[in-house]
Amino acid sequence: MRAFVGTCFAGSFAFDQDGKMIDKELFPKKIDVIVEKIKKSRAGEVLPEEEKIVQRLAKKGIMEIVWDKQTDIKGMSCVCKKDNLANEILQSQFRKLAMDSKWASSQAEINEIMSKVQVELTKKELKKEKKDVVVMRVIAIIDEMDRELNTLSELLREWYGMHFPEMAREVGSNERFAELVAKHGERDSIDDKKLKSIAEKSSGMPFSGEDVKNVQEFSKVMILLFEEKKKLTKYLEIISKETMPNLSAVAGPILAARLLALAGGLEKISRLPSSTIQLLGAEKALFRHLRGEGKAPKYGVIFGHGFVQNAPKELKGKVARAVAAKLTLAARIDRYSDRDNGEQMRKELEEQIKKIESRKD
């Protein structure tokens, strides 16, 4: 026999396969307590009330539980399903159950409690939503600056390459290239030993004083842009950790911000299944595959996650799935709870990755 467990404003309830209530644990009628219970439940946390119900069910010989929690309980078979029977019953019969259980004495009392709880939940959610918009705007600016700096760097390399073409091949960093041009201008003035030696035999054309002055001024502007990007990146790391501490700890603050922007906000990413989070940023490849024009993508921007990057090629897909599953849970905790379990979740993910890689051997 299986039981269906769910939670609503009044408490946690269990139902049998016929929809009959077989157990319950009611919440105290205190607004702050109910708000905290609902937040934790929405974040996927197992409540003490739910634990008590499960323990009592086990004593009755009911060992299979269907609920909306991704967790395992020793000796029990737990099936995570958002649209389980308990949630359907609670949505349609919540008021009747609250009255029958003596939790409320009238519909007016239920309305008053629900109204106050919803106001408090909305206040907390709006604060987070406003902050997540800031995160999305900042990561959009940083990405745009990246694109512009790459374009400007290419143009600078072409421009200065007319005077010293060999330096473009020797200096890989765009920022370092701009710094050298801004500081020295003339190729013969560069004090780097290797570049100085190359400059003596350069095939580039000579630059006039006016040419050197303008290319240096342009390089200085680029250096300012590189510095501003660094400042914004540090700022983004701070607000990402404040807004979504769990997602930032599991993904890293920059990748977390990029995932948030791709999903459209904390509310939206918290509702996404792990399979969708895994493919965020790979939409074009996915649509090509659906048109029969290529292979199905295994990952989107989470390919940039360190665990995926460092995984053996044949295991990258499995590791990406594990990372996406943990990111899903982290996003829900950030959206519906104030808990910061980021470091613990990161360690759990590390252990999970080690197990995946050990099976290869």
Long-range contacts of residues 211-219, Cβ cutoff 8 Å, at least 24 apart: 211/163, 212/185, 212/186, 213/185, 215/156, 215/159, 215/160, 215/163, 215/181, 215/185, 216/181, 216/182, 216/185, 218/156, 218/159, 219/156, 219/178, 219/179, 219/181, 219/182
Please say whether the beta carbons of 330 and 247 come within 8 A: yes
Confidence of residue 346 (pLDDT cuts 50, 70, 90): very high
Position with higher pLDDT, 328 vs 298: 328
Please say whether the beta carbons of 80 and 69 come within 8 A: yes
pLDDT in tens, 80-134: 766 678 888 888 898 999 999 999 999 999 999 999 988 888 777 666 657 889 9
Please say whether the beta carbons of 69 and 50 come within 8 A: yes
Q: Cα separation of 23 and 307, whole Å? A: 43
Nearest to 259 by CA among 281, 234, 237, 240: 281
* Domains and their CATH numbers in the chain: 2-105 (3.30.420.220), 141-236 (1.10.287.4070), 244-360 (1.10.246.90)
User: Is the pTM of the predicted complex or chain greater than 0.75?
Assistant: no
Residue 14 host element (H or E): strand 11-15
Please say whether the beta carbons of 3 and 79 come within 8 A: no
pLDDT in tens, 158-200: 999 999 999 988 999 999 999 999 999 999 999 888 999 999 8
Does the structure show a pLDDT above 70 at 289? Answer: no
Of 54-58, 81-85, 328-332, least confident by mean pLDDT is 81-85
Please say whether the beta carbons of 46 and 71 come within 8 A: yes
